[in-house]
Every structure is written in structure tokens, then in C-alpha cells.
Amino acid sequence: MRPSKANQQDQNQPLLVREDSDDSSTDRFSNSGWWSCLTFQWLNPIFQKGHKVRLELDHIPSVPQSDTANQSYALLQETLHKQKPEPMPMRRAIICAVWTPLIANGVFAGLNTIASYMGPFLITYLVELLSDKNPDKGHGHGYMLACLFFASKTVESLSQRQWYFGARRIGFRVRAALMVSIYQKSLLMKNSSTASGKIVNFLDVDVEKVSEFFWYVHGIWLLPLQISLALAILYRSLGAMASLSAVLATVLVMVSNTPLAKSQENLNMKIMEAKDSRIKAMAEAMKSMRILKLHAWETAYFDKLLKLRDVERGWLRKYLYTCSAIAFLFWASPTLVSVVTFGVCILVEMPLSAGTVLSAVATFRILQDPIYNLPELVSMVTQTKVSLDRIEEFIKEEHQGKPSRSDNNTRTKDLSMTGAMEIEPGVYGWEIDNSLKKTKFMLKIDRKLSISKGQKVAVCGPVGSGKSSLLYSIMGEIPRINGAETTVFGSRAYVAQSAWIQTGTIQDNVLFGKDMDRSFYEEVLHGCALDRDLELWANGDMTMVGERGMNLSGGQKQRIQLARALYSDSDVYLLDDPFSAVDAHTGAHLFKECLLRLMSSKTVIYVTHQLEFLRDADLVLVMKDGRIVQSGKYDDLVADRNGELSMQMAAHNQSLSQVTPAKAHVLTKNKSHKRRQTELTEIELDHNVIGRECEEERESGRVKWDIYRKFVNSAYGGALVPVILACQVLFQGLQICSNYWIAWAAERQEQVSREKMIGIFVLLSAGSSVFILGRAIVLSTIAIETAHQFFLGMTRSIFRAPINFFDSTPSSRILNRASTDQSTVDTDIPYRLAGLIFALIQLLSIIFIMSQIAWPIFILFIIIIAISTWYQSYYICSARELARMVGIRKAPVLHHFSETVSGAATIRCFNQGEKFFRKSLALIDDYSRITFHNSATIEWLCVRINFLFNLVFFVMLVILVSMPRNTIDPSLAGLAATYGLNLNVLQAWVIWNLCNVENKMISVERILQFSNITSEAPLVIEDCRPRESWPWCGTIQIDSLQVRYNPDMPMVLKGISCTIPGERKIGVVGRTGSGKSTLIHALFRIVEPSEGRILIDDVDISLLGVHDLRSRLSIIPQEPTLFQGTVRTNLDPLQQHLDTEIWEVLHKCRLEEIVREDSRLLDAPVVEDGGNWSVGQRQLVCLARVLLMKKKILVLDEATASVDTATDNIIQKTIRQETNNCTVITIAHRIPTVIDSDLVLVLGEGKILEFDSPENLLRDESSAFSKLVMEFVGRSS
């Protein structure tokens, strides 16, 4: 079995279950005989299983070896590179790769087409036989005809099933190959601008499009064949003139269809573009939902999404009305062609008989398909071309002359060199913007640096000076403009500044693909201070981490990354500011345990803002403006009074001097014996949501009737549904009447004049066409409104969901519903549902006509329908679960892809590409095996039901030829046979639509799941709105507050009470996990208190709407978040401020020069996640954002963790100046940040330990605050 999630689950299964799940994983399809393949008997075990239990992934056999992702990818690559020197175009390569199965598939398609024209060909003989009133003729001739009909129908049915399934299979192979190619590319992609949203779209839309294409591919050559066969039959029945006019009319309809199809094509492109931008915005909102809620921006963002959706909806409306015009042409085409043809017959006085007329009618009906399929075929070819071009462009994007780099340069000629590094002079640059002819950022290395094994190199410098870029240049992750390549001897490990954590257990994250070595593993966990965290979590290191480590604190993520690097036991470590997210004590512990002990023999380059960590380095590199301005030993650099480092140290000491020197001195003396008591490490008790990420819920059993009811009633309360039904019934009735009339009148030409005959025929035909047009337009109107209602319901519900919903739901799950499921509702379901009802009405009318001829048929029908229903219900048990699994198995593929894109640098640095690649193969195979069996099951059902209905047709013919001639009206009998030819197609359509509607309704079910999320408190409570000027003073009273994250979890805040006076500066300190963040969450009502209350200026905040509350507070969160857009939209998303005000805050936050560098100024673009700004700069933007809001209460959640001390001092000064009449609450890990506060609140394990002015607390040496200061000073001095 494949190493997949299923495998892990298997190990927990009792052994007895294993036995039968194991035999089911072998591939049955390849081992089955020809009869089993022809009738799809190899699927029987799955149906038996599905009938007994709910199908799970383990019950589904694997795909045939040739269809696995690995084989398909290998085949495609081999074909691509057959041609030298340039690889051949993707289109040709794909066709060449699947050439053999395509030919075999074509044989079935051709056989199917020829067999389908046998019916119209034989119908003339049947009517002639029935019209022959000679009683002496035996029945042998008739029975032979009946057998011929039956044989041709059976061949048609069987060949069609093989053709369809074969085509799907080819599609799946191509899909797997393309998915792997895209994945392979995204693993190698360095510094690409392609966002993960776009890659998800490749997989979700483009690859699926290409895979569907093989369903249509044979239409290209079948079309001429179908038309020539039709011509031959018409020529035989009606002569040259009439048959020519029929073909001309057919061509005319096709031609008039083409411009419609063309515009449908363009509209489809527009919808795709509009959807791309909507999904991108949605993905960004999901990622940053916490920020949106804290700033009370979610309504603004929701409106932005609605605007984007309105654009999409505009295109959708045009698209659907174009579709209704095409549908009208399809249904009216047989009518139109028959009017023209019979008109010509009457003009040239061609003798008509019931037989020839009905043969012609049957032919027109078959011609309907190619007429309809031509535009669909054309659009499918163009869509596939567009999708393939997009994919090919992405896959070949690399070759734009960026310098090549070998992956993880492990050039170890001799072992003594391992761990050494040669950094060559060179120039590196991030995005080169052609429109401005300038690079966003340049890193210049002026002279060669040789670092020998075991050296510790510290890199420091102000925000945006290129520290991270230096590490990237060593890893080869940044484009090199000139200069030689940096050489690293030995293996490397990297700790990124923004933590990248995989979804999986903590243990998976630390091991990162290496084998478990228990003692070393325990040592690493201790070194990274993770052992205490693990004790607190129920599942220890088997605790599941949510998407992007959402349910971990910043410090935990950082320490897990560090543990991952340590465990890899590499030769060279590159650490990008690993100490910023943790408190002083933990930082010192990490430095001592990891850098100085566990990595003592390794080469380490670490970026840091904490200057106290510099003195242990063998070499210090000081950076400024993309250059290394100083390098050397710490003591030498500090001795240089005018050097850059001295200036930074001065700033550092200035911030330290705020911690009163005398106190520091006293405290240091007591340090040694107090040390043991304070060996507490950073625990984030806070987000106790850990391990809560739930396996995606999958409804089971039938799609509930309630869901259909909601769907049908969502547009205009279902008022238009009866209108559609009436249109369909009238269309069907008039169409049958017109066909019967012309057959009946052809036999009685002496009674009916030609003018009357054609006149009534035209009238009846025109009537049926009008109703069909009405039906198409009303249906599109319903579809547009329904899609709108569902979109609104789901998006509103998601935006109003409490924050813990986003912590436990991966965004891929939400996006899957917003993209795939929403598209299904937009363009698919209304038509499927309607199609099902129309097909049922048609089927009933055929049963009605056949029963008119011979009533026993009716009884036979009832029996056959009963058997079919039984088959269908037997089938649906398994099919429904398979269809549900398709969506659920696709999400992990998308998730794994987007996770890889965001962590590509880390994955490459650790040389884990191969492991991730294998995992993607396993996930794609899981997806393929579900879709493979999902598409085979429908064919299994169709083979069986087709046979039953062909049997009914056969029995009817036998009854017809056995009855005495004079009791039958040959025109009616012929009409029954003509419509009967359609029986198996129609019935397959009904069954197919029945199952398909149910499968597609799962999308509605999934959207509705997310439309009823329990929402947080109302945004605005009308009776209880605060005054405009509130909060006027900013006094916060906390009254015995108790908070827990979940009813079944321990209290995080245990009944704290205090009063924070207005317009004061409050510092909140405490070990991580003491409940600092939770206090802030309670203030912003991200989490509601279990007991107690918070008053702001005597207003109980729990009585207000959350929007009213949050819009009066402001916060700078721990993780700086920027949105895609411009500098202006990032600072002022609600567009409430003038440009002058914006420039003013940019100036105060030291961002003015940076913004002025770009000629677009405030309209300079900000990419997804603010990727074109350094983390420190992003933090400054968040500060500017808050200063611009000018709120009375400001919360800083360790807002300066990623900036250097000098910048930090500036920020602190700015905050002090700008907020002198505000209440400022600062959660800090750095003591200087809070030392000049008016009051300090010390939290410990959810209780208040101390709350007093810093001076008073420092006087008492035993106070918790004194201990924290002592640690900080001890570490920094």
C-alpha cells in the first residue's frame, strides 16, 4: 500500500478489518478478462462492499500501474524530450504519449456511430412491412428485422460504454502527469511571482479542463462521418434534392451556432479572470481573518469581495443567456431541418410515405447531436488550448536566463572542508521591475568572505538592510545579477524568519523526513525548550498542527522550526532571526542550549536584532542598505566609535539604561541562586485549540430532500419552476403531434392537400420552438439568482464566523467551496436538475406512445422500471460516497501544493524535495483512484440498464410484427418505433442525470454546510450603540474575568480583576503562556468570557456589537500582515484619510524614504502577504496603519519583535509622542519596551501576580517583575 494518510489510519485498525481492506487495494481492472471488462463486472466487489458499509479510501482498489502518477509523468517526460534540442510543445507531447489508447478508443467511437445509424436505416423497412396488408406473408421477415434492431442497439450500447470509460481513463492519466509536472515545477521555483492561489487554480481548473478534453477528442473526426451517414440515409429515403437541402439546413444551424459558441468562449475567459481575482481576495481574507476582525475591517473586505463577485456575476449573466440561445438552437434544430426538408420534398413533388418520413425524422434526431456538439467541441478545443498554454508557460517559466544554481551545493571533496563556506563577491537583486527599469532591492557583496568550519557568524543591521537576502544568496534563492556563486561545503539547514510549519504532527515537523533517533530527538526538544510545551498538550508530540501552524503561538512555531533544523544534523545552519518571537528568558535558553551547545561544532550564520547575542560570535557582519559595511570580531567593531555597530550599540544601551542601573546591579548579584527557580520556558497555553483541526466532515447517505427544496426555492421562492415545467410539457406534446401529423398525412395525400399538410406541420413545429425558447430563458434567470443567493449566504456566514472556526478549518477547505462548488452552482446544477426533469417528461411521453400501440408494453415497462430503480439504488450507495470522496481527496492535493509553494526555500535547503515529491505522487494517486472508479461505476450501471430498455424495444417490435396487420395504424406504429430508437439514449440520460444531479448536489450540500456556521456576536446592536466620542477616557475595568477557549478546556484566565486607568501606558509581561494574548483577545471579544466582564469607560463591552467595539480600539498584532494592493490600501483600507495624513504617518514611522523610492508613491504595489517588504518594514507599516486611525485605546502585541534596537527605539519614541493622550497596552518580550510604562501588569498562569508601577516593583527584589528584569539584564550585559 501507498504511504498515505490511509496507511496511518490502517495501523490503528483491528487486524480482522485489515484482511479484506488489503485485498481491495490490489488493482482489479488489469487482472479482469474481456467479458468482465466489457460489462464492468470487475466493479462488483466494490458495489457489494458499498452496499454493506460506507465506502472509505481503503476499500477502493488502486489504479492500474499504467495510470499511476509516477508512470504517467515518466511517460510524458520521455515523450517531451524525445525531440532534441528543444523539448516538443506540450500539446504534441501529450497526444504522442497517449497515442495507443487513443486509437483503441477511436475504434469504439467509430463502431458506436455506425451502429447508431442502423435504426433510421431499418425503420423504412419496418413501416413498409407493417403497411403491407397482404395477410399471406409469414412473420419470419419481421422477426429477422426485430433481431437486427436489437443487435445494432446492443453493439451501440456496449461500444459507447467502452468509448466513454476509455476516454475518461486517458484524461486521468494526462491529468496525473500534468499535476506532477506542475508540482515538480513549484518545488524548483525560486523567487517566482506566481502566487499559490494561481497554482491552486491550475490544479482546480486548468488540469481538469485538459483531462475532460479527451471525452470530446473523437468528435473532431466523427462529425464528418455522422453527416455523411445521414446524407446516405436521407438520399435513399427522399432523393437528392431533399437530402441536399437537409444538409444545407444542418450546416446553416451549425454556422449560426458558431458565433454564439465563440462569444460563450470569450465570456468563459472573462468569468475565469473575474473568478481568479475573487478567489485571490478570498484566500487573502481567509489568511488574515484575525487581522480583519481585530481592526473591524471584515465588513469592508466583505463588500470588496461582493464587488468582485458582481463583476463575475455580470459576465456570468451574459454567459448563461448565451447558453440559453445555444440550447434553443439545439432543441429546435431537428424541427427546423425537418421543415426545410419536407418543404423541399413537397415543392419538387417527391412522393412521401410514412416509412420515408419517419426514417428522415429519426435521422434528423441523430443529426441533432453533431450540430450541438460542434460548438461545444470548438469551445472545448479552445479552452483546452488556453489551459494548456497557461500550464506550459508556467512549467517553462524558469528559462528566462536567471543564473543557474546547483541545488544544495554539497561539494565535499575532502571531509576536512565540511562546514566551510566561500561567499564570493557579487550582486543579487529581487524582482526586476521592467516598467521602472530598476530593481526593488539590491544586495552587493564587495569582497570574498571565507568562513571556516565551526564558526559562528552573526549578522545585524537595521530593518530592510538585506540580512535575510544575504542568507537567501547563500542558499541560492535570490537571482544573481553578476559575480561568482557562493560555495557551501556540506549540508545546510535553514530557519526562516516567518515560520513555515507543515500540517501534521509536531513530531513530523521536527523529524522532517529523517528517521527517529530517540535520545537525540529528546535532546533537541529540550534544547529548543519544547519539552514543557509537549507535557501540556494531551497528545504530546503527536499533537496535530493546523494549517500554517495556525494553532501555535509565534514562539512555538519558531522553536519547532529550530528543532527541525537541529534534528537535521546539518553542517551549516542559517538562522534568520530565530530569537525575535520568544521572550527574553527563552531566547537566552535557546542561544545557550542550541547555538553554544548543540551546534558547537557546526558552522552557524544567524541574523539577530538582539545585540546581546553578538559577543559570542566569531565574526560579526554589520549590514546597511544591502551592503556589508563592517565585518570583524565583536570587540574590534565596538571599539570603532564611528562604526555602524557602535551606533546600533548606543541605541541598545540607551534602551537598556532605562532599566535602572543600580537595580540591575543588585539583581545581578542574587542571580545565581535564583536562577534555578526561574527555569521556566515559554509555553503558550493560550491557543488551546491545538489538535483541533478536524478531518473534513463528509455527509453520509442520500443528499437530503431538504437540500433540493432549499435549492429550488432559493430563486424567487420557486415561483418560476411551474412555468418551466409547462413549457417542457407543451414543447414535447407539440413535437410529437407534428411528427405524427406528417407521417399520417403522407399516407393520405388524396385527402390532405400539400399546402395544408406542410402548413399545419410548420405551425406545430413553430409552437414547440417558442416554448423551448421560453424554457431556456427562464432557466437561465433562475440559475443566476440561485447562484447569487448561495454565494451571499456562504460568504456572509464565513465572514461572520468566530475566529476559532478559521483556526480549525484549513483555508483550502473554504476556498474549495468558494471556487469549485460555487462554479458548479453557477453553471452546472440548475441545468442538470432541469435536464433530468426534461428527460423524465420525454421518457414518459415515449412510454405513452408505445403503450398506445400495444398495451402489454405498459406492463413490461413497469417491470423494467422497477428493476432499473433497484439497480440505481444499489449503485447509488457506492457512487454517492465515491463522488463525495472526489472532493475530499482533491483538497489534500491542493493543500500539499500550496504548502510546498510557501515552504519551497526550506524544503530545498533541507534537500527534502524528493520526499515531498513522493508524497504528492501518493496524494495524486489517491485522487486518481477515486475518480477512476467513480467514472467506471456509471458505465457499470448504464450497461445494465441499457440492456433492459433495448429488451423492451425488442419485445415491442416482436409484438408489432406478430399482430394482425389490419389492426395497426402503420404511421403510429412507425412513430412508436422511431421514438423507441431513442429509448436507450434517453433512459441512460435519465439515469446519468439522476446520479449526476445527486453527485452535483453535494456541492450545494457543502456550500450549505458553510452557510450555517454559528456566527460571533452581532456586528451592531441598534439599541446599544456607543456614543460617537466613546471611549472618551480609555479607562478599562476588568471584573473577575474568566476565559477558556472551549467549553471542554481548562480556564486560561482564572478570574482576574484590575482597573487600567485611562490615558496611561501599561506594560503586560509574563512568561509565554501566562495568558497575555488571551487578555487581549477578551478585550477585542475574539473570545467571549465564561464569567466576569470588561468595562471601558463604564460601558460593558459584552453589550455592544463587535463592530462597534473593535472599530473604537486599535491593535498592532504580533504577525505583521499586509494585503495585496497598494501602499495606500494597506494603510487606509476604508479610505477615510487624506494623502497628506498618510505621508505624515509614513514620515513618523521612518517609511517615507522607502515609499518615495518607487515612482508610483502611495500607489506602489504590495504583493501577496507583503512579500516585497521585509518583515521589519511590514511591522512599521502596521504601526503607521494604527497611528493613522488615531484611536483612544491602542494595543501593541510585541509589535517590535522583528526590528533592530535602533528602529525599536524610534518606534517607541513615536508611539510615546503620538499616543500621549491614549491608553496604550503593550505586551512585551523585551523589558525596555515596558520599563518606562506607567504601570506593569505581571501575569502568571492566568492570574495577576503583580500590578504596580515599574519603580515600585523593582524595589522589591522578590517580585516577579524583578526576576524578569534580572534575566534580561543578565542576558544582555
Mean pLDDT (whole number) for 43-61: 86
Examine the pLDDT at 617 and tell me if it is beyond 60.
Answer: yes
For the chain, percent helix, then strand, then coil, each to nearest 5? 65, 10, 25
pLDDT at 155: 93
Angle, helices 856-902 vs 913-962, to 10°: value is: 170
**Confidence band (pLDDT; 50, 70, 90) for 473?**
confident
SS3 582: coil
Give the fold, CATH level 3, of 442-625: Rossmann fold (3.40.50)
1086: Cβ–Cβ under 8 A, 6 or more apart, which residues?
290, 293, 294, 802, 803
Residue 35 to residue 467: CA distance in whole angstroms? 68
pLDDT for 414 beyond 70? no
pLDDT value for 167: 92
Q: Does the pLDDT of residue 289 top 80, yes or no?
A: yes
Q: What's the whole-number average pLDDT of the chain?
A: 79
- State yes or no: cis peptide before 85, omega within 30 of 0: yes
Burial grade of 787 (CB within 10 A; 0-12, 13-18, 19 or more)? buried
Is pLDDT of 402 > 50? Answer: no
Chain segment 1220-1241, per-residue pLDDT in tens: 888 888 887 667 777 778 888 8
Comparing 85 with 677, the larger pLDDT belongs to 85
Is residue 841 classed as helix, strand or coil in its secondary structure?
helix
Rounded to whole angstroms, the Cα distance separating 527 from 593 reads: 5
Q: Give the rounded percent of residues in the chain with a pLDDT score beyond 90.
A: 3
835 vs 21, which has greater pLDDT? 835
Per DSSP, which regions of 400-455 are E strands? 421-423, 426-429, 432-433, 438-439, 442-445, 449-451
Q: pLDDT at position 138, please? A: 62
Closest CA to 1204 of 616, 644, 664: 644
Please check the confidence at residue 1128 and state whether its pLDDT lies above 50.
yes
Domain 46-238+855-961 identical in fold to domain 442-625: no
Out of 157-166, 312-321, 483-492, which region has the weakest mean confidence (pLDDT)?
483-492
Average pLDDT for 243-253: 84
Residue type, 231: L
Residue 650 near residue 661 (C-beta atoms within 8 A): no
Taking the CB of residue 381, how many other CB atoms lie within 10 A of it?
Answer: 16
Residue 1272 is classified by DSSP as H
- pLDDT given at position 1277: 56
What number is the average pLDDT over the span 585-599? 81
What is the structure's pLDDT at 111? 92
656: helix, coil or strand?
A: helix
- Per-residue confidence (pLDDT) for residue 152, from 0 to 100: 92
Please say if the pLDDT value at position 684 is more than 50: no
**Structure confidence at residue 441 (pLDDT):** 66
Q: How crowded is the C-beta side of 434, counted as CA atoms within 13 Å? A: 0
- Residue ranges per structural domain of the chain: 46-238+855-961, 442-625, 1036-1274
Residues 783-837 have pLDDT tens digits of 888 888 888 888 888 888 888 788 777 777 888 888 888 888 888 888 888 888 8
pLDDT band at 440; cut points 50, 70, 90: low
Residue 108, pLDDT > 90, answer: yes
pLDDT band at residue 776 using 50, 70 and 90 as cut-offs: confident
688-705: average pLDDT: 57
**CATH 1.20.1560 is right for the domain spanning 46-238+855-961:** yes
For residue 1134, give the nearest of 226, 180, 303 by alpha carbon. 303
Q: How confident is the model at residue 852 (pLDDT cuts 50, 70, 90)?
A: confident
For 512-563, what is each residue's pLDDT tens digit? 878 888 888 888 888 888 887 777 777 777 877 766 556 677 778 888 888 8
What pLDDT was estimated at residue 697? 59
Whether the pLDDT of residue 1115 is over 90: the answer is no
For residues 607 and 573, the answer to whether their CB atoms sit within 8 Å is: no
- pLDDT attached to residue 436: 40
Instruction: Tell me which range, 183-197, 454-468, 1189-1203, is most confidently predicted by mean pLDDT.
Output: 454-468
Percent of the chain with pLDDT over 70: 88
- Model pLDDT, residue 655: 63
Return the closest-CA partner of residue 1055 out of 1216, 1245, 925, 778.
1245
Helices 983-1009 and 913-962: crossing angle in degrees, nearest 10, is 140
- Judged against a pLDDT cut of 80, whether residue 1111 lies above it is answered with yes
Is it true that the peptide bond before 1031 is cis, omega within 30 degrees of 0? Answer: yes
Q: What is the pTM of this model?
A: 0.71
Cell of 90: 506540450
β-strands 442-445, 426-429: how paired? antiparallel
**401/1091: higher pLDDT:** 1091
* 143, pLDDT greater than 70: yes
Please give the pLDDT value at position 163: 92
Res 159: pLDDT? 92
Give residue 654's pLDDT: 67
pLDDT at 455: 85
Q: Average of pLDDT values for 250-258?
A: 80
Average pLDDT over residues 589-608: 84
CATH fold label, 1036-1274: Rossmann fold (3.40.50)
